[in-house]
Amino acid sequence: MADRKERIPFEPKKSKKAQAKQQKQKSQPENQRKKATPSSKSATKQKVEVGGGKKPAVSGDIPPEVNRRMVRRAALFSGIPSALGVTIFVASYLVVVNKWAELPNTAVVLVSMLCFGLGVVGLSYGALSASWEPGRSGGWWGGEEFGKNFGYLRSAWKSQRDQKAAKRSE
C-alpha cells in the first residue's frame, strides 16, 4: 500500500510479509540469507499490547474498542428493521386469523422483504458509520464517519484494482 496522509488507525504501514522479510534479513548474516527457508505464518506476526495491555493482538487487528462500537451499531441498524420484519409477519397473521381485515399476501411479503433488506443494509451501514478511531465515539447517526470510512473503502478498492492491473500488464 502506498503511504497516504490519512490512514486508518489500525491499518498496517506495510504488508506483514514485507515486514517479516526485512526483519529476517536484518537479523541474519549475509551468508545465511541465501540458505534461509521460509518460516511459518505464525512467526511473521508481531504482537502488540491492545486495550491497556490486557490482551495481546496481532498488529493490524481492529482494536477491541472499535470492534465493540462497530458491532453495537451494526446490531442496532440491522436489528430494528429485522425485528420489524418479523413483527409484520406476526401482526399480519393475527389480522388475517381474527378477520379484522383482508391483507393481500403479496403486500405482507413485500413489506417484510423491505424490512429484511433494510436490515442487511443496516448491517453494512452500522460497521461503516462507526468511528474507526479508538478514542473517538462519533455521532449518533454516523454520517460524517460513514463518509470518511467509505472513502477509505473506496481507496482500498482502487489500490487493489490498480495492483491487479499492474500484475496483468507485467
Residue 156: is its pLDDT beyond 60? yes
Name the band, by pLDDT with cuts 50, 70 and 90, for residue 81: very high
Output the pTM of the full model: 0.59
Q: Mean pLDDT across the chain, nearest whole number?
A: 79
Residue-level pLDDT at 134 = 87
Residue-level pLDDT at 133 = 86
Name the band, by pLDDT with cuts 50, 70 and 90, for residue 11: low
What tens digit of pLDDT does each residue of 17-32 get?
A: 666 666 666 666 555 5
Query: Are 79 and 119 spatial neighbours (Cβ–Cβ below 8 Å)?
Result: yes
